[in-house]
Amino acid sequence: MTGASSGFGRATARRLASQGRPVVAVARRMDRLKELCDEVPDGRVLPLEVDVRDQDAVAEAFALLPDDFADVEVVVNNAGLSRGFGPVQSAAVHQWREMVDTNVMGQLHCLQAVLPHLIASGSGHIVNIGSVAAVYPYTGGNVYAATKAFTHQLSLGLRTDLEGTGVRVTCIAPGMARTGFALVRFDGDQERADALYRDVDPLTAEDIAEAVSWCLAQPARVNVNMIEIMPTSQPFGLGFRSPTTAKG
């Protein structure tokens, strides 16, 4: 489970551990991962401080998993972020690089580390977290949305590459959810993050944990390719209403 220190990842790790699954919880903030471990009894969560952008660190972490956690059956590729909200013509290159390195390369590093094991086992399930941003554009979404479109297409591509292996691939595309996501996007500006959700009753991290859990629970013959989940109050990309529209 990558990105297990917050939001979807944390809720999903909690959910899967409560079902008796051993969970390898990956993120950079060890203090948060330790909090997660404290919430889950019986040592079912193994906290691993790994930056998914670091290919060698990801490979090493997987290769050195202790016996109780080594038989990986499910990979939830969830670690990801957005930086900035400006139009592409005025964006900062370092923000693009961080999003691409995390959302695109990070996912690939995790896949590379774990796929040989899943294929050898003849089963397993990869769940990639995409986004409605990949499908419904909004101003300022540009590069972030494109990294998520990568995830959607990669998921379909994986399905073809893994034909006959027994390994399943699912992409879940959530809409607006109140997690740490907006705070990261706005570099810790809580007021801006809160403003994003003002007119929306957003999804919760638990809503997405429930979707992941449901996909995993399907019989082995069933592959859920894609689930798109938006808040009821979000019919558009990012739920934006222009001031004019909002007033009617």
Contact flag: residue 147 with ligand 8X3 (CB under 6 A): no
Active site (annotated) includes residue 136: no
Which of 17, 126, 133, 162 is the binder for ligand 8X3 (CB under 6 A)? 133
Coil, strand, or helix at residue 127? Answer: strand
Any idea which residue has 């059956």 for tokens? 73
Which residue is catalytic, options 136, 138, 144, 197?
A: 144
Rounded Cα gap, residues 38 and 34, in angstroms: 6
**Does residue number 1 form part of the binding site for ligand NDP (CB under 6 A)?**
no
Q: At what angle do helices 7-18 and 30-39 cross, to 10 degrees?
A: 30
Nearer to ligand NDP, 102 or 155 (CB): 102
Backbone dihedral angles phi then psi of residue 171, each to the nearest 5 degrees = -115, 130
The verdict on 200 binding ligand 8X3 (CB under 6 A) reads no
Check residue 238 for interaction with ligand 8X3 (CB under 6 A).
yes
> For the chain, where are the alpha helices, taking DSSP H only?
7-18, 30-39, 55-63, 67-70, 93-99, 107-121, 142-161, 181-185, 190-196, 205-217, 243-246
Check residue 176 for interaction with ligand 8X3 (CB under 6 A): yes
Select from ligand 8X3, ligand NDP, none the partner in contact with residue 102, using the beta carbon and a kind-dependent cut-off of 5 to 8 Å.
ligand NDP
Interface contacts to ligand 8X3, rule CB under 6 A: 131-133, 141, 175-176, 237-238
* Catalytic site positions: 144
